[in-house]
């Protein structure tokens, strides 16, 4: 039985907690949150020992791994402290707010010989896994152009409104848009340069649009939070030589050059691939992957700490581009 301590029992902590309940031979035995009453109500599990102090939990509980779901500005300090206790850590994205802090987290994992993985869930999302499979295997030929979009209403219900404090969350570029940045790097590698446009308007708007320079593929990504109750959506449109693959509104569609259009049901391709396909989303798949890494004593390879640092570095280069109003080259 893998024993887990959950640090942060807010909205995302609850998502992770529900994922653990669906995974065999793993149990959340402890939880840390500054609001004990809300945490107990949200998790609703009398078998969990609740703490309002991370140090007390680390001193009193014997766990195999810790899952960090706290506000971004706390990630680095908490992760380093936990890994210095010799415990494995999975941490919600983004890794941190600064590259310096992110590298301190990687260093802590290395010096303590523990596993550390940032929960970049899109790498585990079935429709995105399928996109990478199609790209890698050139099923529909060369990729000519791709657009990623991730937009929705700005969250207004976080603890002390931390998400709308740019010094604590980084707003859309670091908190939301980094999902697509990480997947772009995962699928296509590091671009030569980025050209970005962004807008921050107090607590009412946070938006970024970026063009990524590759040799023979046009790549763009948009991320936004809006003040109105605009429905959340994540999508991509990938234009290959022989077809367009579009994921939109939780539907995966294929439009071939010969005029045919079909909806792709990933269950139909499961038998011939390693895709995560089922009735759950990527959160359970990423957590189950890390749990199995801990169980089998195998370092995570689906996403490495260094790759998470790179994702943050690229987002910060995008912000540099937007501020300067020009293209910013990325070093090799």
Domain ranges, ordered by start, for the chain? 2-119, 123-287+311-329
Cα–Cα distance measured from residue 317 to residue 332, given in angstroms and rounded to the nearest whole number: 14
For residue range 161-194, what is the model confidence (pLDDT) as tens digits?
A: 999 999 999 999 999 999 999 999 999 999 999 9
Cα–Cα distance measured from residue 187 to residue 296, given in angstroms and rounded to the nearest whole number: 27
Q: Check pLDDT > 50 for residue 4.
A: yes
Per-residue pLDDT averaged across 91-106, rounded? 98
Cα–Cα distance measured from residue 82 to residue 31, given in angstroms and rounded to the nearest whole number: 14
Residue 197 dihedral angles phi and psi, to the nearest 5°? -130, 135
Fold of 123-287+311-329: Dihydrodipicolinate Reductase; domain 2 (3.30.360)
Contacts 24+ apart (CB under 8 A), 247-253: 247/127, 247/128, 247/131, 252/127, 252/130
Per-residue pLDDT averaged across 293-313, rounded? 98
Domains 2-119 and 123-287+311-329 share a fold: no
Q: Check pLDDT > 80 for residue 268.
A: no
Provide the pLDDT for residue 267. 74
Q: Check pLDDT > 70 for residue 269.
A: no
Provide the pLDDT for residue 271. 45
Q: Check pLDDT > 70 for residue 270.
A: no
156 CB burial (10 A radius; 0-12, 13-18, 19+): exposed
Tell me what percent of the residues of the chain surpass a pLDDT of 70.
96
Give 202's pLDDT tier (boundaries 50, 70, 90): confident
Q: Check pLDDT > 90 for residue 275.
A: no
For residue range 50-62, what is the model confidence (pLDDT) as tens digits?
A: 999 999 999 999 9
Cβ-proximal residues to 147 (8 Å cutoff; 6+ apart), any chain: 220, 221, 222, 236, 237
Provide the pLDDT for residue 273. 52
CATH of 2-119, one of 3.40.30.10, 3.40.50.720, 1.10.10.10, 3.40.47.10: 3.40.50.720
Provide the pLDDT for residue 274. 55
């Amino acid at each position: 039985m893998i024993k887990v301590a959950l640090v942060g029992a807010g909205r995302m902590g609850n998502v992770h907690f529900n994922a653990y309940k669906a995974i065999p031979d793993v149990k959340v035995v402890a939880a840390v949150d500054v609001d004990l009453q809300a945490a107990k109500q949200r998790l609703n599990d009398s078998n969990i020992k609740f703490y309002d102090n991370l140090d007390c939990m680390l001193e009193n509980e014997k766990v195999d791994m810790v899952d960090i779901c706290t506000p971004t500005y706390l990630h680095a300090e908490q992760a380093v402290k936990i890994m210095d206790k010799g415990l494995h850590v999975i941490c919600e994205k983004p890794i941190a707010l600064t590259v310096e802090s992110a590298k301190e987290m990687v260093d802590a994992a290395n010096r303590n010989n523990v596993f550390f993985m940032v929960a970049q869930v899109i790498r585990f999302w079935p429709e995105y896994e399928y996109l990478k499979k199609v790209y890698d295997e050139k099923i529909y030929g060369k990729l000519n152009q791709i657009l990623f979009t991730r937009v929705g209403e700005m969250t207004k219900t976080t603890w002390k409104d931390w998400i709308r404090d740019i010094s604590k969350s980084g707003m859309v570029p670091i908190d939301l848009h980094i999902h697509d940045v990480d997947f772009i790097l995962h699928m296509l590698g590091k671009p030569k340069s980025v050209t970005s446009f962004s807008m921050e308007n107090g607590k009412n708007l946070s938006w970024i649009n970026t063009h990524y320079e590759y040799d023979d593929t046009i790549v763009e990504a948009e991320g936004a939070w809006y003040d109105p109750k605009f429905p959340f959506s994540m999508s991509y449109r990938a234009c290959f030589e022989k077809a367009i693959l579009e994921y939109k509104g939780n539907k995966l569609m294929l439009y071939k050059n010969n005029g045919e259009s079909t909806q792709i049901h990933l269950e139909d391709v499961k038998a011939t691939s390693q895709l995560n396909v089922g009735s759950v989303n990527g959160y359970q798949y990423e957590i189950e992957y890390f749990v199995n890494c801990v169980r089998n004593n195998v370092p995570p390879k689906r996403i490495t700490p260094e790759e998470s640092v790179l994702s943050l570095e690229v987002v910060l280069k995008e912000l540099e581009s937007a501020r300067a109003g020009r293209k910013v080259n990325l070093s090799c």
